[in-house]
Amino acid sequence: MRRVVITGAGVVSPLGDSRAALHAALCGGRSAAKPLELFGDEKLGCTLACEITDFDAQKYLGGRNLRPLDRTARLVASAARLALEDSGFGVETLAREAVGLVLGTMFGSLRTISEFDRRALTAGPTYASPMDFANTVISAAAGQTAIMHGLRGVNSTVSTGASSGLQAIAYAADLIRAGSARALLAGGAEELCFESFYGFDRAGLLCPSNNSAPVKYPIPFDARRGGFLLGEGAALLMLEDASRARERGAHVLAEVKGVGSAFDPSRGKDDGKAVAAEARAARLALEDAQLQPASIDCLSASANGSLCADRREAYAIADVFASAARKLPVTAVKSMLGETLGAAGALQVVALTETMRDGVLPGIRGLEETDGDFPPVVASPQNRRVDVSFGLVNSNGFDGHSSSLVLARPSRR
Amino acid sequence: MNAEEIRAAVKRAISTTANMETAQIGDDASYKDDLQLDSLTILEIAVGLEYEFQIKIPDEQLSEIRSVGDTVRLIQQHLA
Amino acid sequence: MKQPRRMERRVVITGIGLVTPVGTGREAVWRNLLAGRCGVAPVEAYDTGELSVHRGAEVKQFSAKDYLINTDAETVGRASQFAIAAARLALEDAGLAPDAVEPERVGVSMGTTSGEPLEIERFDDRLVNGELGEVGAEFMARYPCHNISANVAGEFGFGGLNILIPTACAAGNYAVAYGFDALRAGRASLVLAGGADPFSRITYTGFARLGAIAPELCQPFDRNRKGMIPGEGAGVVVLETLAGATRRGARIYAEVAGYGLSCDAHHMTAAHAEGDGAVRAMEEALRSSGTRAEDVSYVSAHGTGTPTNDRLETVAVKRLFKEAAYRLPMSSIKSMIGHTMGAASAIEAAVCALAIQQDCIPPTMNLTEPDPECDLDYVANEARGHEVNVAMNNAYAFGGNNSSLVLKKCEV
C-alpha cells in the first residue's frame, strides 16, 4: 500500500509562523491568550482570545493584490506559501504538476458572509459586494489559495467543526493511498471574528472574563477548568506519496501511519455514546496503522478546557489504552493556542512532528491537578522528554465528530 | 460634480480594490488591457462607485464598462 | 487490459432520495423531469423587491415532520430537514431498515454551498435591528454547516464516518466521490452520500449582484439564455459495495465507476477560458473508471444557463470528446429544477443512475433557439429513450473547482 509522508509544513499562528517558533513557544509555556483587539462588544462575557496580532499577509505573499482575499483566505494562502517553501515546491514544480489542497475549516469566513448580508440589508441589495459574495462560500479560502499559488490538483474543503483540520489531513492521505494524488497540501484554518465568537459566547462555552471568574484561561483536564478560549490560525502540511518524496530526496518530517474517524449519533448529548465514538476513532486509527495501543509514545489531546469534552476524552483514552494509559504522556496544546477550530488538528500534527524531532513534549500550561472525576491522564505542566516513534493526535468536534491520526517518526537509515 | 472629480473618485476606487497607485491609472485606461483587471474586480469597483454616488446602474450598462472613461461617463449620466 | 475490480472494491447505488422543486421522492421527481415539468416560480422565501429578478426554484409543500421521526424538526435548519428527508427516502428506496445495518459502519457524506444560511440571516437581522441580545445558544447549535451530516446520522443513529464537504456548486459530486473512496478503502459498509441547500437571500442576492440570474426561465445552451435560477433541495444516494449489495439482493441502479477532481487555479467566479480544469477532471474520471471517451452514452451537464458557463462547458466537452461530442447527448436538468447549489450534482448523479437503469434521458427544457456556439445535442425539450451504458455527471464551482463522476450499468 502506498505510504504517505509529510515533507513540509506552513504555520501561521498566534505563537509563531514556523514549526520551530511554534514548538519553542509551546515548550516555553507561552500562552497566546490576551484581550481581544480585532473586535469587541460589551455583551461579550469572554473578552480574551488567542489572536494573531497585526497579522500581515503581505509579509508572506509579497506584492500580490490581497484585496479579494478575506482574513481566512489570507491565513490559508500565507500558510500555503510557507508550506510550499518548507517542502521545496517551487513555481516550476507547480507548473509541471497538479498539486492539490484539502482544507479543513469550521466556518470559512463567517465575517464575510455576515458582512455581505448586512450590507445588503442596510444599504440595499444593489450595493452588495460582488467580491465579498465570491468569498461567502465556505470553500472560498481554498479556491483563493489555489489561484494565488497555482494549485491545480484536487481542491477540497472539509467542515466537521473542531475536527476539520485532522479530517482534511486524513482525506488527503487517503487520496494519496488510493493513487488519486501524489502531492497535496492538507490542514486547516480558522479566523477569529465577532459573529462566531459571539455565538460561542452565547452558548456558554468560553471561559468567562469577568473579575469574579475563577479561571479565565483554558486548563485542559484540570479540576478547575471552566471552558475554552478561541484562537485563530492556519497550518498546512505537504503530504506526499512516500516514493515521490524519496525520488526527489525530500526531507521527511513524519509519516501519516493511520487515520480513523467516527461519529457519536447522540450528537454530543450522551456521555456513553460520545466516549464510545472517540474510542472508536482512536482504535480505527491504530488498526489502520497496524499498531497496538502500547506502541504509542505520546498523545496530543483535543482537550481545550471544556468541562464535558475533556472528561469524555479522558474516558476514551482510558478505554483504548487501558493499563498502557499509565505510561502514555499526554499534552494539550490548546492550553496555549486556544481552540483554533478548523486549524486545531493540523496545528497539533505540526507540533507533534517537532516533538518527534527534538524529543520534547510541551506541558499543559496552567495545569495543577487533573480532575479526579475521570480516569487519570498522564499530564503535567512541565515539559517531558519523550522518545517518540509513534504519536497519536485526537481531534474532536462539538456535535459528535471524532477523529484520530497516528504519526510515525521517519525511520533512520 | 464635474468630470475631474468623478474621474478622481473612479481612480480611487480602482486603487483600493486593485491595490495599485492612482498615478499608474491613465485617464482613459482600459480595465482589461491596460490595468489587467479581471471581471470580478471590475464589477466590485463599479458597485463600490454606485454605492459612493448612490446611483443604480442597470446590469446591461454595467457589463458594457471597459475603461475609466466609460465609467466616468456612466456615472455622469446617472447623476444628471 | 486493466484488472477487473473485485466486488468488494466496486461501488453501486442502491437507493435514491430526492427533495426538489419538482417534487419529493424518486418516482415523482423522475416522472416530472421526463415530462419536462418546470419548478420555477416567483420567489416566496423572502421579499426580492429591490432586485430586478424575482424568480426561483423552491421546494413546495415540504412537510419536514413527515420525514423527521427521531429529530425535532424545529431544532434543525432547513438544509438539515431536506437532507434527513432525502436520506430517509433513499434508505427506504434501498430496502434498508435503519436498524438492519451495523450503525458504526454506516457513513454520511454530504455536500453544501451555504449550509444553514437562514440561521446567519436571522443573526444578521437581529444585529442590524439592535437585537443581538436575542441570539442564544441555538445559533451555534444550528448554524455550522457540519450539522447537515451530523443531523442525518443523528436521525438514524449512524456512527460511522461523517463528513461535510462544502465545495459549493460541485459539492454533491465531491460527497459521492468521498463515499466511493471510503467504501473502496473499507472504511464503511454503507454510505449515504449527497448534498443539500436551502433557498437563501444571501445566495439569491449574490448571484443577482453578479448579474447571473435569469428573469424568467433557465434556458441552458439556448441562444437567448440569460442566466441561472437559484433553487433549493437535497439529493441522497445509498452507496454500497457490489459485494454487499449482491449479498442482500439489493436492486442496483448503477455502478459508480470513477471520478475526477481538478482546480482551474484561475478565477473565483469565472471558469478557465479553454476549459483546462474541466477537461482534466473529465479525463481523470474516464481514466479512473477505465472508460474510453467514445463509450460515454450521456452527459449530465452543469448547464446553469449562464451565457459563459454553457459556452465554456461546450468548449470543454468538444476538446475532450472531439468528434464523438456531436453524437453525445448532454442535458441539463437545471432547466427544470434550477440550480439547487450543493444538492445539484447529487440530484444529477441520482438522475444519471436512473437514466442508466431505465435507458432514458431527461431533456434540456426551454431550448427554443439554438446557439451557434452551443451546437451539440442537448436533448432539447423532450425526454428521449436511449441506451445509457455510461453516464458522466459534471459540476463546476466557485474557486474553479471542477468535478466529473462516471456511472455505468453494473455488470457482474
Could you tell me how many CB contacts below 8 A there are between chain A and chain B? 31
Name every chain A residue with its beta carbon within 8 A of the beta carbon of C156.
Answer: 265
Spatial separation of the C-alpha atoms in residues C162 and A388, rounded to whole Å? 30
Chains in contact with B, counting 3 or more C-beta pairs less than 8 Å apart as contact: A, C
- C101 phi and psi angles, rounded to 5 deg: -115, 155
Tell me which fold the domain A4-254 belongs to. Answer: Peroxisomal Thiolase; Chain A, domain 1 (3.40.47)
Touching A: C residues 166-205, CB under 8 Å: 166-168, 174, 178, 181-182, 184-185, 187, 201-202, 205
Is the overall model pTM greater than 0.90, yes or no? yes
Which residue of C lies nearest to B61 if distances are taken between CA atoms? Answer: C211
Q: If you measure CA to CA, which chain A residue comes closest to B37?
A: A65
Per-domain residue ranges for chain A?
A: 4-254, 258-407
Inspect the interface and report whether the beta carbons of C202 and A117 lie closer than 8 Å.
Answer: yes
Which of the following is catalytic: B33, B38, B59, B70?
B38
Count of B–C CB contacts within 8 Å? 17
Mean pLDDT of chain B: 94
Per-residue pLDDT of chain A (413 residues; tens, 9 = 90+): 899 999 999 999 999 999 999 999 999 999 999 999 999 998 999 999 999 999 999 999 998 899 999 999 999 999 999 999 999 999 999 999 999 999 999 999 999 999 999 999 999 999 999 999 999 999 999 999 999 999 999 999 999 999 999 999 999 999 999 999 999 999 999 999 999 999 999 999 999 998 788 789 999 999 999 999 999 999 999 999 999 999 999 999 999 999 999 999 999 999 999 999 999 999 999 999 999 999 999 999 999 999 999 999 999 999 999 999 999 999 999 999 999 999 999 999 999 999 999 999 999 999 999 999 999 999 999 999 999 999 999 999 999 999 999 999 997 54
CB contact under 8 A, A116 and C181: no
Report the residue from B19, B40, B51 with minimal CB separation from A134.
B40
φ and ψ at C112, to 5 degrees? Answer: -160, 165
Tell me whether residues A131 and B19 touch, CB distance under 8 A: no
- What is the per-residue pLDDT for A413? 43
Q: Does B24 reach chain C within 8 Å, measured CB to CB?
A: no
How buried is residue C187: exposed, middle or buried, by Cβ count under 10 Å (0-12/13-18/19+)? buried
**Residue B45 clears pLDDT 90, i.e. is over it:** yes
Q: How far is A151 from chain B (nearest CA, A)?
A: 19
**Residue contact B38–C211, C-beta within 8 A:** no
- Facing residue for B43 by CB, picked from A65, A67, A130: A130
> Which of A247, A250, A256 lies closest to A83 in space, CA to CA?
A250
From A167, A177, A199, residue closest to C143, measured CB to CB: A199
Strands A233-241 vs A4-12: parallel, antiparallel or unpaired = antiparallel
pLDDT value for C3 = 58
Find, among A285, A279, A229, the residue nearest to A408 by Cα. A285
* Cβ contact, residue pair C211, B63, below 8 Å: yes
- B38 classed as catalytic: yes
Our CA-based measurement puts residue C59 at a distance from the nearest CA of chain A, in whole angstroms, of 22
Q: Give residue B52's Cα distance to chain centre.
A: 11
Q: Which of C50, C210, C224, C398 to mutate to test the interface with B (most CBs of B within 10 A)?
A: C210
B43 chain-A contacts, CB cut-off 8 A:
130-131
Express each pLDDT in C196-210 by its tens digit.
999 999 999 999 999
Amino acid of residue C33:
L
A136 touches chain C (CB under 8 A): yes
Q: Chain A 114-133, CB below 8 Å of chain B: which residues?
A: 123, 126-131
**C12-247 and C259-408 have identical folds:** yes
- Higher-scoring residue by pLDDT: C363, C4: C363
Average pLDDT, chain C: 96
> Residue C127: its chain A contacts at CB < 8 A?
114, 118
Range B3-79: architecture per CATH: Orthogonal Bundle (1.10)
Pick from C391, C405, C278: which is nearest to C329 by CA? C391
Residue B17, min C-alpha distance to chain A (Å): 6
| Residue C298, C-beta contacts closer than 8 angstroms, at least 6 positions apart | C328, C329, C330, C331, C352, C355, C361, C386, C388, C390, C391, C392
Domain spans in chain B, listed from the N-terminal domain onward: 3-79
Q: Is the pLDDT reported for residue C4 higher than 80? A: no
CA of B8 to nearest chain C CA: how many angstroms apart?
Answer: 25
Three-class secondary structure of residue B39 per DSSP: helix
The CATH code for residues C259-408 is 3.40.47.10
- Rounded Cα–Cα distance for residues A104 and A344 (Å): 9
Contact B47 A127 (CB under 8 A): yes
Q: Is A69 near chain B, with CB under 8 Å?
A: no
Which 207-246 residues of chain C touch chain B by CB within 8 A? Answer: 209-211
C154 to A400: CB separation less than 8 angstroms, yes or no: yes
Q: Which of C136, C156, C399 sits opposite A139 (nearest CB)?
A: C399
Tell me if chain C has a CB within 8 Å of the CB of B58: yes
Q: Which CATH class is domain C12-247?
A: alpha beta
The predicted-structure confidence for C217-266, as pLDDT tens digits, reads as follows: 999 999 999 999 999 999 999 999 999 999 999 999 999 999 999 999 99
Q: What is the pLDDT of residues C35-61, one digit of tens each?
A: 999 999 999 999 998 899 999 999 999
Chain C residues whose CB is inside 8 A of the A41 CB are 132
CA separation for the pair A326, A328 (Å, rounded): 6
| Least confident residue range of A345-349, C81-85, C269-273 | C269-273
* Residue A35: how many other CB atoms lie within 10 Å: 10
Nearest to A76 by CA among A173, A161, A151, A160: A151
* Gap from B59 CA to chain C (nearest CA, Å): 6
Give mean pLDDT, residues C376-394: 98
Q: What is the 3-state secondary structure (H, E, C) of chain A?
A: CCCEEEEEEEEEECCECCHHHHHHHHHCCCCCCEECCCCCCCCCCCCEEECCCCCCCHHHHCCCCCCCCCHHHHHHHHHHHHHHHHHCCCHHHHHHCCCEEEEECCCCCHHHHHHHHHHHHHHCHHHCCHHHHHCCCCCHHHHHHHHHHCCCCCEEEECECECHHHHHHHHHHHHHHCCCCCEEEEEEEECCCHHHHHHHHHCCCECCCCCCCCCCCCCCCECCCCCECEECEEEEEEEEEHHHHHHCCCCCCEEEEEEEEEECCCCCCCHHHHHHHHHHHHHHHHHHHCCCHHHCCEEECCCCCCHHHHHHHHHHHHHHHHHHHHHCEEECCHHHHCECHHHHHHHHHHHHHHHHHHCEECCCCCCCCECCCCCCCECCCCCEECCCCEEEEEEECCCCEEEEEEEECCCCC
Give the residue from chain C lying closest to A125, CA to CA.
C205
Say what the pLDDT of residue A412 is. Answer: 59
* A121/C contact by beta carbon, under 8 A: yes
Residues of A within 8 A of B51 (CB-CB) are 123, 127
Q: Determine the pLDDT at residue A45.
A: 94
Give me the CATH code for the A258-407 domain, please: 3.40.47.10
Q: Which of A131, A144, A147 to mutate to test the interface with B (most CBs of B within 10 A)?
A: A131
The residues of C carrying an active-site annotation are: 169, 302, 339
Closest partner residue to B47 (CB to CB) among C209, C268, C270 is: C209
Task: Give the B-side interface with A, CB within 8 Å.
Answer: 16-20, 40-41, 43-44, 47-48, 50-51, 56
Does C50 contact B at CB distance below 8 Å?
no
Whole-number percent of chain C with pLDDT over 70? 99
Domain residue spans in chain C? 12-247, 259-408
Chain C environment of A126 (Cβ under 8 Å): 50-51, 209
Chain C CB contacts of A189 under 8 Å are: none
Closest residue, chain C, to A114 (C-alpha)? C124
State the average pLDDT over residues C64-70.
98
Question: What pLDDT is stored for residue C1 in this prediction?
Answer: 43
Query: Which residues on A lie below 8 Å from C197 (Cβ)?
Result: none
Using a CB–CB cutoff of 8 Å, tell me whether B62 touches chain C. yes
